[in-house]
């Protein structure tokens, strides 16, 4: 079965009987910028909890939300009963927030049969579909195999080189204030500001009421990048950049390359900390 990267609540409800379908709950209790969902334990029936922050990020990294090693990702994903041919739909409890990061993680590890639920849990509930309280349940181990694709990852060195010799346009998903240096970063030790050769498309601009805008509306949003052949996406720590990346795909762009370290890594390595002033 062919799966689009963004699916509706009605589509998901209609395909619940597919034995290959696995629903992943990537909900967060709270975001770095202080957003708190109405409920952090309510979920879609039979969804499997995908602990993005604590299990599916590299705990040894000094930076948040870092891409885990393929072997570690494979081991943990198998615990969720995911196979190489599983069809995955991921959602979160803020509409569209953390779920696109999960889509990018799986795609970077070679798994293409994955979609984001447009509007997430709020849209599922708005359609009148059933919910339940999240609870752990025993799962048979899957045979998922990670096949890492380095082309979807931009390193600090690549971004640094791009500031001297531009080969791509960096799209920053943070707020305009953080990008312009007029609003503080949520990580209080960091200065705000922007990486040279980047443009600002705050992730809120690609959404309306927690759902992705239409293809035509998104093409307008991405007009500042119309002349850019190659795009790389960034934010504070590699999470909301994936929202803008998925929106770019809906708008007709093909790039899925992420600067995983994003502004947190850049500011730290460039010594753009408040202690450095």
Domain with CATH 3.40.250.10 in the chain: 6-148, 151-276
**What local confidence, expressed as pLDDT, does residue 277 receive?**
42
What is the reported pLDDT for 276?
43
Predicted local confidence at residue 136, as pLDDT: 84
Q: Which residues contact 183 (CB under 8 A, 6 or more apart)?
A: 175, 177, 192
Report which of 274, 223, 237, 248 is spatially closest to residue 98, judged by C-alpha positions.
Answer: 237
What 8-state DSSP symbol labels residue 274? G
Please state the CATH superfamily assignment of the domain spanning residues 151-276 in this structure: Rhodanese-like domain (3.40.250.10)
The CATH number of the domain covering residues in 6-148: 3.40.250.10
Q: Are 259 and 241 in contact (CB under 8 A)?
A: yes
Catalytic (active-site) positions: 235
Q: What are phi and psi of 195, to 5 degrees?
A: -85, 135
Are β-strands 132-133 and 42-43 bridged in parallel, bridged antiparallel, or unpaired?
antiparallel
Per-residue pLDDT of the chain (277 residues; tens, 9 = 90+): 778 999 999 999 999 999 999 999 999 876 666 566 656 789 999 999 999 988 998 777 667 788 999 999 999 999 999 999 999 999 999 999 999 999 999 999 999 999 999 999 999 999 999 999 998 888 999 999 999 999 999 999 999 999 999 999 999 999 999 999 999 999 888 999 999 999 999 999 999 999 999 999 999 999 999 999 899 999 999 999 999 999 999 999 999 999 999 999 999 999 876 654 4
pTM score of the predicted model: 0.94
Residues belonging to the chain: 277
Nearest alpha-carbon partner for 2 in 115, 80, 101, 78: 115
CA atoms within a 13 Å half-sphere pointing along the CA-CB vector of 268: 14
Question: How far is Cα 140 from Cα 273, in angstroms, rounded to an integer?
Answer: 46
According to DSSP, residue 175 is labeled -
C-alpha distances (whole Å) from 63 to each of 66, 185, 272 are: 6, 15, 15
């Amino acid at each position: 079965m062919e799966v689009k990267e963004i699916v509706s609540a009605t589509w998901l409800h209609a395909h619940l009987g597919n034995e290959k379908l696995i629903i992943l709950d990537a909900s967060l209790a709270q975001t770095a910028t202080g957003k708190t969902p109405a409920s952090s334990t309510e979920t879609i029936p039979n969804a499997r909890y995908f602990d993005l922050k604590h299990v599916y990020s590299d705990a040894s990294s000094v930076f948040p939300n870092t891409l885990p090693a393929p072997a570690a990702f494979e081991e943990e994903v198998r615990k969720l009963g995911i196979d190489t041919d599983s069809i995955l739909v991921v959602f979160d409890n803020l509409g569209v927030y953390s779920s696109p990061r999960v889509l990018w993680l799986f795609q970077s590890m070679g798994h293409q049969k994955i979609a984001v639920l447009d509007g997430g849990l709020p849209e599922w509930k708005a359609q009148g579909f059933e919910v339940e309280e999240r609870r752990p349940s025993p799962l048979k181990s899957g045979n998922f195999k990670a096949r890492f694709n380095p082309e979807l990852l931009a390193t600090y060195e690549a971004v640094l080189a791009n500031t001297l010799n531009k080969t791509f346009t960096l799209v920053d998903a943070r707020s305009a204030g953080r990008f312009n240096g007029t609003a503080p970063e949520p990580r209080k030790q960091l200065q705000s500001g922007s990486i040279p050769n980047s443009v600002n498309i705050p992730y809120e601009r690609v959404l309306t009421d927690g759902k992705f805008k239409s293809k035509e509306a998104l093409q307008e949003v991405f007009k500042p990048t119309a002349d850019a052949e190659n795009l790389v996406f960034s934010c504070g720590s590699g999470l909301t950049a994936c929202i803008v990346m998925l929106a770019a795909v809906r708008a007709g762009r093909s790039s899925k390359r992420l600067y995983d370290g994003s502004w947190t890594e850049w500011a730290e390595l460039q010594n753009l900390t408040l202690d450095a002033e």
